[in-house]
Amino acid sequence: MEEQGKPNVTEDATEAFAQELLNEFPSASVEVRENKLGRKRVWIRVDRKEYKALMRHLRALDPEAHYSIGIEQDMGDHLGFTSHLLLTWRGEALSVLVEVRAPKDDPRIDDISEIFPIALQFEREGMEMVGIDFEGAPDKRRLFLPEDFPEGIYPLRLDDKGVSEDMVKNAGHPYYLKGGSKR
């Protein structure tokens, strides 16, 4: 909530968008960051209870919002799922990132495939790669991994549920850094 110190009247659509979103969802953390090219992005972090409502709100702001990517990741004690959206709002193409987290012992996140149908495929990837459980996803089959891949192993997990040492064949490989899967 860094932008609270800034003046309320802004010309910039990104700032205005962040401000309006914050009014709508006061519990979310909304942050505008600018990179060296001058491109601003809105980074939103939202509680998983409000996640679906927020996505629905964003979809209502721009019915043709473009869902670019869903990033599943292991964040230590949490599992995160970040979505990038491209919203056209007041004639500006806004780059919006929505992050939601779930604790590892209860990795449930709401499914948003009824709002953004393509998100389902990223959720399928998230389910198999880090083991997030997307509640209510209509298709829970594996997407990339083969059918005979062992249950309960999530290749991109950084803890002991990841690919373990004995599954890796080339332990003496110069490229392979020992203990790389545990950080």
Partner 1 sequence: MTEKVEYWVKIPFGPIHPGLEEPEKFILTLDGERIINVDVKLGYNLRGIQWIGLRRNYVQIMYLAERMCGICSFSHNHTYTRAVEEAAGIEVPERAEYIRVIVGELERIHSHLLNLGVLAHDIGYDTVLHLTWLAREKVMDTLEAVSGNRVNYSMVTIGGVRRDIDEKRKRIILDAMKYYREVLPQMEDFFLQDPTIEARFRDVAVISRRVAVEQGAVGPTGRGSGLKDDARWSERLGVYPDLGIKPVMPQDVTGERPHGDVFDRAAVRIGEIKQSIELIEHALDQMPDGKIKVFAKDNILVAKLRNLVDGEGIGRYEAPRGELVHYVRGKKGSDKPLRWKPREPTFPNLFAVAKGVIGDQLADFVVAVASIDPCLSCTDRVAVMEDRGRKRVLTERDLIKASIKKTREINPDIRGDPTPVGLGCSR
Q: Is 134 a residue that touches partner 1 (CB under 8 A)?
A: no
**CB-CB neighbours of 21 under 10 Å:** 20
One-letter amino acid at 166 equals D
Stretch of residues binding partner 1 (CB under 8 A), selected from 18-26, 49-57, 104-112, 156-164: 156-164
> ∠110-125-84 over CA atoms, to 5°?
65
4: tokens are 């609270």
**Closest distance of CB 180 from partner 1, Å:** 4
Looking at beta carbons only, is 49 or 139 nearer to partner 1? 139
Looking at beta carbons only, is 9 or 171 nearer to partner 1? 171
Residues linked to residue 86 through DSSP beta bridges, in sequence order = 66, 95
Stretch of residues binding partner 1 (CB under 8 A), selected from 17-25, 46-54, 100-108, 116-124: 116-124
Count of residues that bind partner 1 according to CB under 8 A: 55
Q: Is 167 a residue that touches partner 1 (CB under 8 A)?
A: yes
Q: Is 156 a residue that touches partner 1 (CB under 8 A)?
A: yes
Q: Is 12 a residue that touches partner 1 (CB under 8 A)?
A: no
Contact 104, 162 (CB under 8 A): no
User: Exactly one of 6, 39, 56, 78 binds partner 1 (CB under 8 A); which one?
Assistant: 39
Looking at beta carbons only, is 16 or 71 nearer to partner 1? 71
Name which of 153, 84, 138, 79 is nearest 109 in CA terms. 79
Q: What are phi and psi of 38, to 5 degrees?
A: 85, 15
Q: How many residues would you count in the chain?
A: 183
DSSP for 111-123 reads --TTTSTTHHHHH
12: tokens are 């910039």
User: Exactly one of 74, 110, 111, 123 binds partner 1 (CB under 8 A); which one?
Assistant: 74
d(CA 16, CA 28): 16
**Binding interface with partner 1 (CB under 8 A):** 35-39, 41, 43, 63-64, 66-69, 71-75, 82, 84, 86, 93, 95, 97, 116-118, 121, 129, 142-146, 148-150, 153, 155-156, 158, 163, 166-170, 173-177, 180-181, 183
